[in-house]
Chains A and B, each alone.
Chain A
């Protein structure tokens, strides 16, 4: 994945108007996972991935419920009749069909705005952002890019390679026309890694049966963790650097990296290999876990609201995940975005 050439989109008049994020109330610590039957100690989980706690959706919450809250926060007082599109990146939709985006669209009273899901795993937010940006560039007034996942429903608590990693949450960005603050987006997919991280059963290849459920085949499988670990690192670095090169910039120009949050060790390795100060990388994985496609958006929302980004700050978002997929986006924070985030 590291040597593949991404597809670039350099919009001329597309901006992130506002962002929103939501983490469910229920905090699940590593000790809680041990009580549920995890085959690792709390310390081992911390050491393995740097995740100390994560949020799990409540029993009455599905992915659309989380997405609705994140979208509401991004919309704020915006005139919803201006929203011409909703795209929801998720790998854990409420149902196999229809799209969870339709449920979100209805709840948000977005009229008849087209709404659909997309599946890009941990790169989901950036894929959704790319789609929304292209829609605005071709005439939509406002487009909502959302990413949301309830990964906890697909985790096998007895699987030592994945039990500690994942959490639930949602993020959204309202995208509109105007002076561009989205300087560029890069995306790629490398399908040879399609089974690197996947859920074997429940789709058309292996429909769910009592046996597949008994065998936990409906949960996330990551057979070769080290390969995924190193591929994610290489892929996220490569696509981030490729986007900067395409824009004639270097890492020296970047104020902050806001990455997908696969695990802390991966982020530390990325910072080290990129020779980028770890303190200028937004890291929340120790308290959110890996929220799949929503991670990058949640991190962006937190970073924007932290007060650490000001007018002119350059933010490089990078993500990589199952598929394999990867994405990067460069955002120049402007005064309007700072104000809507404060």
Chain B
């Protein structure tokens, strides 16, 4: 899944800078992102997947979804 589609998916929830980093990610938006990704990509995000690293930017989330899809998380 390309980062562009993840960016488009999340752009309505959180501000994303040119480098793909989230700019104003508060708790409520983070939960919104979790549920949006789960609904879109048919994955389940558990508490241990939510770290500052995985929710720092689009690329990290793309990587997380890929790992969840491959069952390697």
A and B from one assembly?
A: yes
Which A residues are within 8 Å of any B CB, using their own CB?
Answer: 2, 44, 47-48, 161, 224-227, 229-231, 234, 265, 269, 273
Is A234 touching B27 in the complex (CB atoms < 8 A)?
Answer: no
Q: Which of B30, B31, B35, B47 touches A234 (beta carbons < 8 Å)?
A: B47
For B27, the chain A residues whose CB sits under 8 A away are 161, 224-226, 229
| Distance in Å: Cβ of A221 to nearest Cβ of chain B | 13
**6 A/B residue pairs, CB under 8 Å, sorted by A:** A2-B47, A44-B28, A224-B27, A225-B27, A230-B50, A234-B47
Q: Which residue of B lies closest to A223 (CB)?
A: B27
Q: How large is the interface on B (under 10, 10 to 19, 20 to 34, 35 or more residues)?
A: 10 to 19
Q: Mark B16-30, 1 if CB is under 8 A from A, else 0.
A: 000000000001101
| Given A226-B50, A227-B50, A230-B50, also A273-B44 (CB < 8 A) | yes
Is B31 touching A229 in the complex (CB atoms < 8 A)?
Answer: yes
Q: Which of A48, A231, A265, A273 touches B47 (beta carbons < 8 Å)?
A: A231
CA distance A231 to B31 in the complex (A): 12
For A265, the chain B residues whose CB sits under 8 A away are 31
| Distance in Å: Cβ of A48 to nearest Cβ of chain B | 5
For A227, the chain B residues whose CB sits under 8 A away are 47, 50
Q: Does B8 contact A (CB under 8 A)?
A: no
For B72, the chain A residues whose CB sits under 8 A away are none
For A273, the chain B residues whose CB sits under 8 A away are 44
CA distance A226 to B31 in the complex (A): 6
Question: Interface on chain B toward A: helix, strand, loop, or mixed SS?
Answer: helix
Is A230 touching B34 in the complex (CB atoms < 8 A)?
Answer: yes
Is B28 touching A48 in the complex (CB atoms < 8 A)?
Answer: yes
Is B46 touching A226 in the complex (CB atoms < 8 A)?
Answer: no
Is A269 touching B35 in the complex (CB atoms < 8 A)?
Answer: yes
Q: Does B45 contact A (CB under 8 A)?
A: yes
For B45, the chain A residues whose CB sits under 8 A away are 230
CA distance A48 to B27 in the complex (A): 9
CA distance A35 to B43 in the complex (A): 41
CA distance A226 to B33 in the complex (A): 11
Candidate in B27, B30, B34, B46 with the most chain A CB atoms within 10 angstroms = B27
